[in-house]
Amino acid sequence: MAIVAPVYDRENFYSIGPLHLTVVDWDNEHHRRSVAASLVAGVYILERDRQENRDAKHALASPWWEFFNFRLIRQLVDDVDQSIFGAIYEYELKTSSSDKAKEVIPHYVIAFRGTLTSRDSVTRDIELDLHILRQGLHKATRSRIAVQAVRDTVASSQHRNVWLAGHSLGAAMAILAGKEMAVMGTFLTTFLFNPPFISAPIEQIKHEGVKHGIRVAGSVITAGLAFAMAVKQPQQKNRSVETFSSLATWVPNLYVHPADHICSEYIGYFQHREKMEKLGVGQIEKMATQHSLGGLLMTAFGKEADPVHLLPSACLTINLAAAPDLKKAHALQQWWQPESQVNFKTCAYLYS
């Protein structure tokens, strides 16, 4: 019989956190990713502390940021269920830090948690998950609170480094906020852990030929429908193209696992674009990349849709380690494992 760790241990930084990072090298991508993931974990535990009514003596959240010399300056609270869904951290920069270090180290980090299945938050979190499926997350009040918090933090940062980070539903929130800032010309360093991609799970098909054929057909249909709608509404089409192109300079860090069907379609989304360019039909894929078939159909029926998952550019990291189930493949913990224990593949995809 498998031994299941107590909930207390699964939330305790000193049981599962990246204790190996006693000294953070901010020039090291692995270290930066591990810190960002830990700060997201801190948001999860903040909400769990609230739900369990843990007093200061028994609360578990603070080590998730204090270990890395951050302090919590604000909790982001959902206006519907009063749950904590985000946090703003400030790095307590040591006076001895070099000027180069000050340029790399984030001054603020805004982190968002994903769905919690515990009683006090599951209803609202699942409601927001459904908003993602309906491509309407931007209309939720939690999203508006998140985006406004990012705007305010950037405005008060005096041009110092601001990072965004999120896991699952929280990664979708970070994408919304990151896009908002990118359109305004501010490109934030962003860490997206297991962000949801709304699509049929094509990446789970093992036969490469079948998978490629389905993707080609999907691209042709999506591009064709987008073109037909653009003919009818050229002004809307131009705005859509301009907005998507304006995001191209923003290159968020995207972390996915092939066995996680919630986010694994990002692998095909970017790799297929390269294949279509090599086949000489890059313009078809370029149009298809900017749209989702579901969003186009919703728009055709007069419903507003904003496919948050579509990204022009990204630095995509794939965890190639085996995962026995979806829970393991979707877990935040995989992203702060010691460097010697991980098997990652990273590739940059830039939109032009």
Indicate if the pLDDT at residue 99 is higher than 90. Answer: no
pLDDT at residue 114, as a whole number: 97
> Which tokens in the block code for residue 270?
């970017």
- The answer to whether residue 146 is domain-embedded is yes
**Helix spans in the chain (H):** 7-11, 13-16, 29-51, 63-66, 99-104, 122-133, 141-156, 169-183, 208-232, 234-246, 265-278, 282-289, 293-300, 326-329
- The answer to whether residue 214 is domain-embedded is no
- The answer to whether residue 320 is domain-embedded is no
- The answer to whether residue 153 is domain-embedded is yes
- The answer to whether residue 172 is domain-embedded is yes
- Tell me which of 87-96, 158-167, 178-187 is least confident: 87-96
Of residues 322 and 352, the one with the higher pLDDT is: 322
> Which tokens in the block code for residue 274?
């390269």
3-class state of residue 206 by DSSP: coil
Place of tokens 């935040």: 332
- Tell me which of 21-30, 104-113, 167-176, 283-292 is least confident: 283-292
Contact call for residues 111 and 178 (beta carbons, < 8 A): no
- The answer to whether residue 242 is domain-embedded is no
Convert the pLDDT of each residue in 3-53 to its tens digit: 444 566 889 999 999 999 999 999 999 999 999 999 999 999 999 999 999
Convert the pLDDT of each residue in 305-347 to its tens digit: 577 888 999 999 999 999 999 999 999 999 999 988 899 999 9
For residue 146, the enclosing domain spans 7-193
Confidence of residue 238 (pLDDT cuts 50, 70, 90): very low
> Does an H or E element contain 108, and which?
strand 108-112
- The answer to whether residue 318 is domain-embedded is no
- The answer to whether residue 44 is domain-embedded is yes
The Cα 145–Cα 88 span in angstroms is 13
* Residue (of 337, 335, 352, 350) closest to 36 by Cα position: 335
The Cα 131–Cα 125 span in angstroms is 10
Q: What is the pTM of this model?
A: 0.87
- φ/ψ (deg, to 5) at 37: -65, -35
3-class state of residue 257 by DSSP: coil
307: alpha, beta or left? (left if phi > 0; alpha if psi -120 to 50):
beta
Confidence of residue 122 (pLDDT cuts 50, 70, 90): very high
3-class state of residue 162 by DSSP: strand
Q: How many residues does the chain have?
A: 352
Convert the pLDDT of each residue in 242-281 to its tens digit: 677 789 899 999 999 999 999 999 998 888 777 767 666 5
Indicate if the pLDDT at residue 2 is higher than 50. Answer: no
Give 3-state DSSP helix, strand, coil % of the chain, rounded to 5.
Answer: 50, 15, 40
Residue-wise over 30-40: b if at least 16 C-beta within 10 A, else e?
bbbbbbbbbbb
The Cα 305–Cα 294 span in angstroms is 9
Q: Total structural domains in the chain?
A: 1
For strands 189-193 and 253-256, give the pairing: parallel
